[in-house]
Chain A
């Protein structure tokens, strides 16, 4: 159990276009999901906390108008990279915490989505 699915796994797009990445919790509900970005040989950097039914909370330095987050249901959060540029090329990973496991603090991660902007 506790599977998180991301789609697409990889995407290549032209500079200036927008890309949407989906994060789904397949067998549990999560009021909160997290979006991370990881550049090669670097650690995960928290971008934003996605809250179901409300606005996302962005970390300092992350442009909320560029990285649009929507958490429309207890099982789905989406990250849209708007007007993508080559410097946005990265590995984007989402994670979610099951409602029933808030005490353990354990997070389950999606497989990640590799974005390449040409």
Chain B
């Protein structure tokens, strides 16, 4: 099986930086995804980490430590539109993608 844990909710201020953590325990780990999901909509792809280290893509960065079973998503210069759920997901084996509980981020003025 797989255990993927994220904080349930977070609140941050517009313009600030927020870090959303994800820990996982899974056999056959291949890689880790971060997705953004607005209420009632399908998830949209943010990042994919396979190797240890930081991947930067604009305002969003994602970090992975395979040995620690740990990842985080870093959002900089927060905007109101960043209010959404952020889903951490791991791939196990060839194809399967398993999602964490998701972190509901609220950005306040």
Q: Which of B10-18, B52-60, B76-84, B96-104 contacts A (4 or more CB under 8 A)?
A: B96-104
Asked if residues B48 and A34 are in contact (CB atoms below 8 Å), the reply is no
Asked if residues A49 and B96 are in contact (CB atoms below 8 Å), the reply is yes
- Among A36, A49, A93, A107, residue most surrounded by chain B Cβ atoms (within 10 Å): A107
- What is the bound-complex CA distance between A105 and B45, given in angstroms? 11
Query: Does B28 sit at the interface, judged by CB under 8 A?
Result: no
Given A97-B95, A109-B42: A104 and B48 interface contact (C-beta under 8 Å): yes
Asked if residues A46 and B48 are in contact (CB atoms below 8 Å), the reply is no
Asked if residues B95 and A112 are in contact (CB atoms below 8 Å), the reply is no
- What is the bound-complex CA distance between A44 and B43, given in angstroms? 9
Asked if residues A109 and B44 are in contact (CB atoms below 8 Å), the reply is yes
Contact-size category for B: 20 to 34
B21 contacts across to A, CB distance below 8 A: none
- Among B95, B98, B99, B102, residue most surrounded by chain A Cβ atoms (within 10 Å): B95
- Among A105, A111, A114, residue most surrounded by chain B Cβ atoms (within 10 Å): A105
Interface positions, chain B 10-58, Cβ under 8 Å from A, are 30-31, 33, 40-45, 48, 50
Proximity string of chain B (69-109) to chain A, C-beta cutoff 8 Å, 1 when within and 0 when not:
00000000000000001010101000111111110100000
Given A104-B48, A107-B45, A112-B42: A44 and B87 interface contact (C-beta under 8 Å): yes
- What is the bound-complex CA distance between A111 and B42, given in angstroms? 5
Asked if residues A32 and B99 are in contact (CB atoms below 8 Å), the reply is no
A93 contacts across to B, CB distance below 8 A: 42-43
A27 contacts across to B, CB distance below 8 A: none
- A32 closest partner in B (C-beta): B95
Query: Does A43 sit at the interface, judged by CB under 8 A?
Result: yes
Q: Which B residues form the contact surface with A (CB < 8 A)?
A: 30-31, 33, 40-45, 48, 50, 85, 87, 89, 91, 95-102, 104
